[in-house]
Amino acid sequence: MRPQSVRTRITDLFGIRHPILCGGLMWLADANYAAAAANAGSIGFMTAKTFPDPGRWKEELEKAHALANGNPIGVNLYISQRPEENEMLSGHADLALQAGVRRFETAAMPPAELVKQLKDAGAVVIHKVASVRHAVSAATKLDIDAVSVVGMECGGHPGLNMIGNMVQGVLASLRVDIPVVIGGGIGHGRQVAGALSFGAEGVILGTRLLVASEIWSHDAVKKRVLEADETSSRLVLASMRNTYRVLDNQTARSVADLEAAGANDYESYREHVRGTLQREAYEEGNPEKGLLSMGQSAVFADRIEPLGAIIDRMVDEMDEALDRLARLRVGRDAAAE
């Protein structure tokens, strides 16, 4: 674990060394992931929906705490547009609170009741959105502590506006008073330094961590990520107002063909978009199967290595970038005198 070199409102809020959060990865963000992030001076958010059985979820929480050596772990609670998929969340949130978790990432739909449940228990909550407009709304209408804003570069759901972080990252920090975290396309420490210069308090990673040793997916899927460059993802389901950035694989191309043909009902897509296909792909080592979330930061993934090594490298890169910026300043000593 690298020593702390910068301090922001996010490092203070979450009690971590580095302004780098490891976001929830559906099917993949388990106890090993959360503990590896914790032991690297970051924080990782385990995905509650990955463990629908309450008993299994409780076991995973206990395992994460045992592996984290007293460092904080987090939990991701994803709020779906389909209410029936959210019925488990309150109970899983309670189990996490009972296990001592006090750091949560909520995402997607506004989680007003869920946030109240968490805040009443003294938890810290960061809510993830895909636009500055939604960040402003969340910051003013929800009792949250921070907001993460993901740009069009991100894997998963980047929203409908397709605005990149060069614009959105600055706007969010200008328009939102609570701590802002930037996500989407981030996989190098220079980008962390850039986010801090934008006015953000930190960054959140997703795709960059798909090749971490602690991620349980098959090596064949990880190798496909290693082969990817900045052009290897594609956007699908924009026609259904559910834009999804995924690995450009056989399933994604089939979905794109359906969209081009004008299919406009969920049933037409069901066999391609069901979430369990993703899990099967990770288990079987078949990167052509399912819509596999992958953003443009795959270009920075160059080896399979421990998550802690990824964070260490990014911290070193961030420090080098910040040092370079300091050297570029002129007239500073004279002004100080």
Question: Rounded to an integer, what distance in angstroms lies between the CA atom of residue 25 and that of residue 36?
Answer: 14
Handedness of CA 311, 190, 297, 52 (dihedral sign): positive
Question: Rounded to an integer, what distance in angstroms lies between the CA atom of residue 307 and that of residue 231?
Answer: 24
Q: Which residues contact 99 (CB under 8 A, 6 or more apart)?
A: 58, 61, 62, 65
Q: Over its length of 337 residues, how does the chain's per-residue pLDDT go in tens digits?
A: 999 999 999 999 999 999 999 999 999 999 999 999 999 999 999 999 999 999 999 999 999 999 999 999 999 999 988 888 899 999 999 999 999 999 999 998 888 899 999 999 999 999 999 999 999 999 999 999 999 999 999 999 999 989 999 999 999 999 999 999 999 999 999 999 999 999 999 999 999 999 999 999 999 999 999 999 999 999 999 998 889 999 999 999 999 999 999 999 989 999 999 889 999 999 999 999 999 999 999 999 999 999 999 999 999 999 999 999 999 999 866 445 4
- Residue spans per domain, the chain: 9-215+302-325, 233-284
Bridge partners of 233, per DSSP, are 247
- Tell if the pTM clears 0.85, that is, is over it: yes
Bridge partners of 105, per DSSP, are 76, 126
**What would the two tokens of residue 180 be?**
């802002």
Report whether 38 contacts 20 (CB < 8 A).
Answer: no
Report whether 258 contacts 284 (CB < 8 A).
Answer: no
Right CATH for 9-215+302-325 from 3.40.50.300, 3.20.20.70, 3.30.70.270, 3.40.50.2000: 3.20.20.70
